[in-house]
């Protein structure tokens, strides 16, 4: 019965060869029934090609042969060979039985199922391999270099294995590998009708497969290989072990594959290149795009043109759909919540802001978007870092009128928010078993379903229905459904299941362009093949360290060494390359960051090196110069213009004039422009408020405002009077005033420990501040608003400033500005004199002014107070009062503008400052762009950074 193994060269189309054999197969004349023929493939995809090929050749109705993938074939045989069909367990349940077995082995380290789960999954993989390789484990003692827990598990491996097997058998359970092994052991008694006539596309066999296939071969199965001469190592070994004869079907002309080596900058440039190759102008070219790494699928799908007809065999990852994104966020909110304090605001806001939720409607049919935007504002302004759902609901209920003004029926709005709490969050918070989790998920889905029906987001809808139809039934079928498990771990199981789930793409499966993984291409042949990401570490892949089974332990256990995997991948790679007319081999050369923040240069795969070397030998020349190198090409529109955003000059002028006519041009406005014209544009021209967040930390601007109010109230009784520090200092009063203001400040919502530290720090600083008030002074004014009008550039401009405190000290006036954050030194007169006014209204001129002047606040205050009068300037100074430091030196606490050269200062302030102001106004109105920051450090602390395309 044994038939010689047929060996086809790579260039021969194996499916077409099979079709010719099938047509020759004995059957009644004119009969196109192939049902008596059974064909075995390694996977399902060739079945489609077989049927399509038969249709093309026969051009008549026919009944195709029975064709199976190996997995389906084993399933079929189980129906014949198992007395009662056994229940196939998933890895989660396998891990559970392994856990029970390990407990029976009385291992101290075993802990509970939650902590054992990752080890259980690893052991289930190992046990599947042991079944596949028909190996009985032996106890392994004295192992070094593996974790203690793994060591204990290995010492008891044989006993765990025995109990595990007994548990499977006793309960009528099996696993995919155990079933295969048991069927292989009974191969002699397989019924005749289950013996395949043809088996093709196989390369490396496990011991179970070897036993099964050998039995089939003895019973007459015709094996067909695709291989070069001499045979690759694993086929050669297979032939020798079986003592099989081989027959070479060597009648096709050589393929002479044209290879193109292409080095690209990154994944996107590889995809662009591939897309440019797909266009074939109506030519019928069978093409395959091979993704050696599934993660390439998402960037590819994003860039595929809508009109491109393509079949994608790799499914879309469920965990990348908006629906799962939302569930993941809900899980994180629950995990991050505190039993006593409630939800953490950032997690709650992520739910409220989630695009999936925002795309829904309220039960009354209004889009929830506006409601959630309002809710977000309420939370940020009124709640602390943690809160519970009742606080949210009563907060919304207190805004009855505001909801109406927004166009919402308040009852509908409240019911929407209440339903999210009760039907989305609550059911998942109170879970103790998988059964509870399933019930919770079902409640959530029942609530979302009617809302989702209205949504046009296809991916969200698909994710939802796939989760409902595939993930929920799997959870329901798990053995551990009723086992009490901690919530965190239940979520982990759910995540584990979802992370391995892919949604199949729909569409015509045999169009000319196929996107697939390397193993899915087995047996198939294309005119043109494009490989992406042929980088070392990707193909062959680099396995991480396996804590439970280091490579050195594999031979000890009787398992094949890992090197065999590389041989297998090389075989499939080489077969696909050499069976195609034209092949593009693309790899990435850019620098990639590793998880350890190291940068490594990506290098091409050793598989590419091997093909390159073979090609060089064939052509007898070095090919390095012929590698196509795709430059990093980014369309100019993707680069932010160096200059910034083009300015509408008329609008800029009108904005400035209206600001001047309002409160006036302030030092803050001018400083903002000096620091970054774009920031000025976002803030003053567009009126964009920086995003607000719940107060969680001591924020500088809030603290500044609080201390300003505190000091104003403290010094108020002394306006027009003399303050004598020795007599009048009252740190307790100052602190009490602070506490009074703190209660009405957003900082009052800080957590108790942060509030405590804030109070203590402020108490200390305020006391120190008072202690450093040296000598008596008269307080002339507090929070004094001042304006001054100047004619510049043919317009009247009003300048404005609000001065924190004005003192008379002897015959001098001191203008003070309180600072709570870090303070730079005011400009020196030397630096100001060195700064000639530039002519050009460009970025460089502005950057020069910024470097020299640094900050216009104190000069402008002096100018406002003195009215530009030189005499008055002789008698006036200005200083920043640094509240955030504890320097003992008075001059460090007060950073004064004028330290010496009073006359030069008076000249500069009265004559040059107006010219500087004129230059800045001109720059604001007439420069061509709103330029980016004049100093790259500014971007680090800029509130607009998230929306700004020009940050350094």
Binding piece for ligand SF4, criterion CB under 6 A, among 442-450, 672-680, 692-700, 918-926: 672-680
**683 versus 805: smaller Cβ distance to ligand SF4:** 683
> Is the separation of the CB atoms in 742 and 698 below 8 Å?
no
- Element holding 616 (H helix, E strand): helix 606-619
What phi and psi, each to the nearest 5 degrees, are found at residue 700? -55, -45
The pair of structure tokens assigned to 82 is: 């198992």
> Shortest gap between Cβ of 673 and ligand SF4 (angstroms)?
11
**522 versus 679: smaller Cβ distance to ligand SF4:** 679
Residue 434 per-residue DSSP state: H
Which of 440, 425, 458, 457 has its CA nearest to residue 360? 457
**744 versus 940: smaller Cβ distance to ligand SF4:** 940
**368 versus 939: smaller Cβ distance to ligand SF4:** 939
Binding piece for ligand SF4, criterion CB under 6 A, among 19-27, 119-127, 705-713, 941-949: 941-949
- Report H helices in 839-936: 843-853, 857-866, 870-874, 890-893, 902-907, 913-926
Selected from 678, 779, 788, 862, the binder of ligand SF4 by CB under 6 A is 678
Which positions from 391 through 430 interact with ligand SF4, judged by CB under 6 A?
none
For position 945 contacting ligand SF4 by CB under 6 A, the verdict is: yes
Q: Which residues pair with 628 in a beta bridge?
A: 262
**362 versus 938: smaller Cβ distance to ligand SF4:** 938
Binding piece for ligand SF4, criterion CB under 6 A, among 36-44, 594-602, 673-681, 753-761: 673-681
> Shortest gap between Cβ of 381 and ligand SF4 (angstroms)?
24
**910 versus 938: smaller Cβ distance to ligand SF4:** 938
> Shortest gap between Cβ of 934 and ligand SF4 (angstroms)?
9
Q: How far from the centroid of its chain's Cα atoms is residue 545's Cα? A: 24
> Shortest gap between Cβ of 635 and ligand SF4 (angstroms)?
22
For position 706 contacting ligand SF4 by CB under 6 A, the verdict is: no
**583 versus 645: smaller Cβ distance to ligand SF4:** 645
Q: How far from the centroid of its chain's Cα atoms is residue 846's Cα? A: 39
CA dihedral of 721, 725, 726, 727, whole degrees rounded to 10: 40
For position 929 contacting ligand SF4 by CB under 6 A, the verdict is: no
For position 478 contacting ligand SF4 by CB under 6 A, the verdict is: no
CA distance 82 to 185: 12
Residue 87 per-residue DSSP state: E
> Shortest gap between Cβ of 933 and ligand SF4 (angstroms)?
4
For position 86 contacting ligand SF4 by CB under 6 A, the verdict is: no
For position 673 contacting ligand SF4 by CB under 6 A, the verdict is: no
Q: HSE on the CB side for 355, CA within 13 Å? A: 9
Residue 186 per-residue DSSP state: T
For position 917 contacting ligand SF4 by CB under 6 A, the verdict is: no
Selected from 676, 747, 814, 882, the binder of ligand SF4 by CB under 6 A is 676
For position 951 contacting ligand SF4 by CB under 6 A, the verdict is: yes
> Shortest gap between Cβ of 919 and ligand SF4 (angstroms)?
20
**768 versus 945: smaller Cβ distance to ligand SF4:** 945
For position 948 contacting ligand SF4 by CB under 6 A, the verdict is: yes
Which of 327, 380, 310 has its CA nearest to residue 690? 380
Q: Please tell me whether the peptide bond between 605 and the residue prior to it is cis, using omega within 30 degrees of 0.
A: no
Binding piece for ligand SF4, criterion CB under 6 A, among 254-262, 319-327, 747-755, 944-952: 944-952
> Shortest gap between Cβ of 842 and ligand SF4 (angstroms)?
16
> Is the separation of the CB atoms in 455 and 461 below 8 Å?
yes
For position 938 contacting ligand SF4 by CB under 6 A, the verdict is: yes
**291 versus 678: smaller Cβ distance to ligand SF4:** 678
Query: Going residue by residue from 779 to 818, which x/- string records binding to ligand SF4, judged by CB under 6 A?
Result: ----------------------------------------
**431 versus 948: smaller Cβ distance to ligand SF4:** 948
* Burial category of 756 from C-beta neighbours within 10 Å (exposed 0-12, middle 13-18, buried 19 and up): exposed
Binding piece for ligand SF4, criterion CB under 6 A, among 299-307, 545-553, 575-583, 931-939: 931-939
**480 versus 933: smaller Cβ distance to ligand SF4:** 933
Q: How many residues bind ligand SF4 (CB under 6 A)?
A: 13
Q: Which residues pair with 791 in a beta bridge?
A: 796
CA distance 23 to 55: 12
Q: How many CB atoms lie within 10 A of CB 419?
A: 15
CA distance 263 to 244: 43
For position 933 contacting ligand SF4 by CB under 6 A, the verdict is: yes
**882 versus 942: smaller Cβ distance to ligand SF4:** 942
* Burial category of 508 from C-beta neighbours within 10 Å (exposed 0-12, middle 13-18, buried 19 and up): exposed
For position 674 contacting ligand SF4 by CB under 6 A, the verdict is: no
Q: How far from the centroid of its chain's Cα atoms is residue 138's Cα? A: 43
Secondary structure (3-state) at 802: strand
Secondary structure (3-state) at 830: helix
Binding piece for ligand SF4, criterion CB under 6 A, among 47-55, 234-242, 835-843, 933-941: 933-941
What phi and psi, each to the nearest 5 degrees, are found at residue 166? -65, -40
For position 932 contacting ligand SF4 by CB under 6 A, the verdict is: yes
Distances (CA, A) of 261 to 256, 514, 537, 593, 623: 16, 21, 18, 24, 9
**646 versus 740: smaller Cβ distance to ligand SF4:** 646
Selected from 679, 708, 819, 923, the binder of ligand SF4 by CB under 6 A is 679
Selected from 184, 471, 734, 942, the binder of ligand SF4 by CB under 6 A is 942
Handedness of CA 242, 247, 250, 251 (dihedral sign): negative
The pair of structure tokens assigned to 137 is: 């484990």
Decide the pairing of beta strands 316-317 and 502-503: antiparallel
Distances (CA, A) of 818 to 296, 408, 704, 782: 55, 45, 8, 11
Give the interface with ligand SF4 as residue ranges (CB under 6 A): 676, 678-679, 932-933, 938-939, 942, 944-945, 948, 950-951
């Amino acid at each position: 019965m044994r038939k010689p193994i047929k060996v086809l060269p790579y260039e021969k189309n194996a499916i077409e060869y099979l079709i010719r054999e099938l047509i020759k197969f004995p059957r009644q004349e004119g009969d196109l029934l192939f049902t008596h023929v059974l064909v075995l493939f390694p996977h399902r995809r060739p079945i489609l090609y077989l049927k399509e090929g038969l249709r093309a050749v026969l051009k008549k109705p026919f009944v195709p042969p029975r064709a199976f993938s190996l997995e389906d074939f084993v399933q079929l045989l189980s129906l014949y060979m198992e007395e009662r069909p056994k229940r196939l367990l998933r890895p989660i349940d396998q891990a559970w039985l392994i856990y029970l077995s390990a407990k029976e082995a009385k291992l101290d380290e075993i802990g509970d199922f939650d902590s054992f789960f990752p080890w259980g999954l690893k052991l289930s993989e190992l046990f599947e391999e042991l079944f596949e390789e028909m190996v009985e484990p032996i106890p392994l003692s004295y192992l070094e270099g593996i974790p203690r827990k793994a060591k204990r598990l290995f010492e008891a491996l044989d006993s765990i294995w025995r109990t595990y097997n007994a548990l499977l058998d006793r309960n009528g359970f099996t696993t995919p590998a155990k079933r295969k092994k048991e069927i292989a052991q009974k191969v002699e008694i397989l019924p005749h009708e289950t013996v395949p006539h043809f088996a093709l596309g196989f390369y490396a066999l496990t011991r179970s497969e070897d036993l099964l296939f050998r039995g089939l071969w003895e019973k007459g199965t015709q094996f067909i290989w695709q291989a070069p001469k001499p045979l690759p190592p694993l086929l050669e070994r297979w032939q020798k072990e079986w003592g099989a004869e081989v027959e070479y079907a060597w009648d096709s002309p050589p393929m002479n594959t044209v290879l193109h080596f292409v080095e690209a900058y990154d994944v996107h440039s590889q995809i662009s290149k591939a897309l440019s190759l797909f266009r074939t102008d109506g030519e019928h070219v069978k093409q395959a795009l091979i993704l050696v790494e599934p993660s390439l699928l998402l960037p590819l799908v994003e860039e595929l043109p809508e009109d491109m007809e393509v079949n994608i065999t790799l499914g879309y990852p469920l965990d990348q759909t908006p629906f799962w994104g939302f569930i993941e966020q809900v899980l994180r909110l629950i995990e991050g919540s505190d039993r006593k304090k409630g939800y953490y605001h950032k997690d709650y806001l992520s739910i409220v802001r989630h695009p999936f939720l925002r795309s829904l409607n309220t039960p009354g049919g209004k889009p929830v978007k506006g409601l959630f935007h309002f809710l977000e504002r309420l939370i940020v302004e009124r709640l602390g870092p943690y809160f519970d759902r009742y606080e949210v609901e009563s907060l919304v209920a207190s805004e009855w009128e505001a909801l109406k003004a927004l166009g919402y029926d308040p009852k509908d709005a409240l019911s929407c928010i209440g339903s999210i709490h009760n039907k989305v969050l609550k059911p998942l918070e109170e879970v103790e078993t998988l059964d509870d989790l399933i019930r919770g998920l079902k409640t959530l889905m029942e609530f979302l379903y009617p809302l989702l029906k209205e949504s046009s987001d296809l991916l969200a809808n698909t994710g939802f229905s796939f989760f409902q139809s595939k993930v929920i039934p799997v959870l329901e079928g798990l053995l551990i459904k009723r086992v009490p498990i901690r919530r965190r771990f239940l979520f982990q199981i759910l995540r584990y299941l979802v992370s391995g789930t892919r949604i199949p793409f729909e569409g015509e499966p045999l169009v000319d362009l196929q996107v697939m993984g390397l193993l899915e291409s087995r047996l198939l042949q294309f005119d043109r093949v494009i490989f992406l990401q042929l980088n070392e570490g990707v193909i062959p892949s680099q396995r991480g360290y396996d804590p439970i089974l280091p490579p050195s332990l594999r031979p000890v256990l009787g398992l094949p060494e890992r090197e065999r995997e590389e041989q297998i991948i090389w075989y499939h790679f080489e077969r696909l390359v050499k069976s195609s007319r034209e092949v593009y081999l693309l790899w990435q050369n850019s620098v990639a960051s590793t998880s350890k923040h190291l940068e490594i240069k990506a290098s091409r795969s050793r598989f590419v090196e091997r093909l390159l070397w073979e090609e060089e030998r064939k052509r007898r020349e070095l090919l390095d110069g012929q590698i196509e190198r795709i430059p990093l090409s980014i369309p100019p529109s993707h680069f932010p213009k160096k200059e910034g955003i083009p300015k509408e000059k008329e609008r800029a002028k009108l904005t400035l004039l209206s600001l001047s006519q309002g409160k006036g041009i302030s030092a803050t406005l001018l400083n903002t422009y000096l620091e970054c014209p774009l920031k000025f544009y976002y803030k003053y021209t567009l009126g964009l408020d920086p995003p607000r967040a719940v107060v969680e930390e001591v924020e500088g601007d809030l603290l500044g405002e609080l201390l300003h109010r505190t000091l104003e109230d403290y010094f108020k009784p002394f306006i027009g009077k003399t303050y004598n520090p020795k007599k009048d200092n009252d740190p307790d009063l100052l602190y009490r005033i602070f506490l009074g203001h703190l209660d009405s400040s957003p900082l009052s919502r800080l957590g108790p420990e942060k509030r405590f530290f804030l109070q203590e720090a402020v108490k200390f600083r305020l006391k120190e501040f008072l202690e450093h008030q040296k000598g008596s002074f008269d307080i002339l004014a507090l929070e004094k608003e001042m304006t001054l009008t100047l004619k510049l550039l043919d317009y009247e401009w009003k300048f404005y400033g609000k001065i924190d405190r004005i003192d008379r000290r002897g015959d001098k006036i001191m203008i003070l500005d309180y600072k709570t954050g870090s303070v730079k030194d005011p400009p020196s007169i030397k630096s100001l004199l060195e700064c000639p006014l530039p002519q050009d209204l460009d970025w460089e001129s502005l950057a020069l002014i910024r470097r020299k002047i640094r900050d216009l606040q104190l000069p402008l205050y002096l100018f406002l107070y003195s009215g530009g009068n030189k005499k008055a300037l002789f008698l006036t100074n200005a200083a920043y009062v640094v509240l955030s430091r504890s320097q003992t030196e008075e001059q460090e606490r007060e950073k004064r503008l004028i330290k010496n050269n009073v006359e030069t200062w008076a000249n500069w302030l009265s004559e040059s400052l107006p010219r500087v102001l004129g230059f800045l106004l001109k720059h604001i109105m007439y420069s061509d762009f709103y330029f980016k920051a004049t100093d790259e450090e500014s971007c680090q602390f800029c509130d607009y950074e998230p929306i700004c395309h020009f940050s350094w």
